[in-house]
Amino acid sequence: MNVPDAPQPPHEWPDPPLNLSSATLVTSGDAERFRDSEAPHSSGASSPLSILRKVGLGVLGVIALFYGGCALALLAYNVVDPWTTGVQIQRRLEADASYEKRYAPRPLAALDEDLPLAVVAAEDTRFFQHSGIDWNAIGEALDENRDGDDERRGGSSITQQLVKNLFLTTHSTYFRKAVELPLTYMAELILSKRRILELYLTVIEWGPGIYGAEAAAQYHYGQSAAQLTRYQAAALAACIPNPRVRRPPQMDRYARIILRRMKIVGPLRRHFETSKSRGTVGAPGPLAFMGNPLSTADGPPLQAAARSSAAEPVVPGVGLEPTRDTSPNGF
């Protein structure tokens, strides 16, 4: 009896040797990328969000860089005078070939003591009471500006005018005012009241290409700012709201108003000493607009000065005359 042969297993060929030099190894990372490439792409809804996020971060970076640079500059201005300012650069760019800049920084000690007093009496009688912004004056200016006149009364404090001159331009826009607000409080935090007033008298525009008290005294009177009379100091202060138009001989009436205010405000030495003894900038704080910005600790004279400022008649060319928005030292 013939028995059939048992089936033979299929022949198994040996695997060819693996050439590691030419083989492609698939790793887990490759597999993930492969799966991602196979997945359907999203509709692109996240792309605009990503762009907006980058733009937002860029804007925040520019803002931080600007305010950080201004803070460093203010720290430096505690001990050095500015080489130039935003308004000075603006005037240079706007001017023709005949433009000549006269800029001679001087400390307060090198000026006639009546000049800084006249400037405070003319521009900011509550300078030693507010913390940078006189909300009372701003409210009064807004009320008067609602009348629709072509000209506007300014409500900016000396500190606001200083930071505008240092870092910004004379173009009056709501954007500029918004940028100016934190700069004002920054200046009050970094600089003393005395230094703020000193820098203000050093850099503000006082005529075509004329910057600072010394250059103004030389230009208008042909003498040093240390030799000004009390009346000359008041007449120079009267030109500040519109310095490229006004001239001291034309400002007699306003100068006499300033002279009366100077008597009420009194010597600045007393106010500097009061601020120093407080250990602060001599201000009631940024919420002064919620109450009377005048501190009763300063006594009736300064309160009377503020009331006198508000009560002066608004007459063309004098007193609390509304200032054009192109003025570097006004609104």
Q: Is residue 242 part of a domain?
A: yes
- Residue in the block written with tokens 């490439």: 37
CB 325 within 8 A of CB 164: no
pLDDT in tens, 209-251: 999 999 999 999 999 999 999 999 999 999 999 999 999 999 9
Q: Is residue 281 part of a domain?
A: yes
Q: Is residue 49 part of a domain?
A: no
CATH number assigned to the domain comprising residue 148: 1.10.3810.10
Q: How many CB atoms lie within 10 A of CB 319?
A: 17
Mean pLDDT within 183-187: 97
Q: Which range marks the domain in which residue 155 is found?
A: 64-94+102-319
Q: Is residue 57 part of a domain?
A: no
- What's the structural domain count of the chain? 1
pLDDT in tens, 28-64: 555 555 555 555 555 455 688 889 999 999 999 999 9
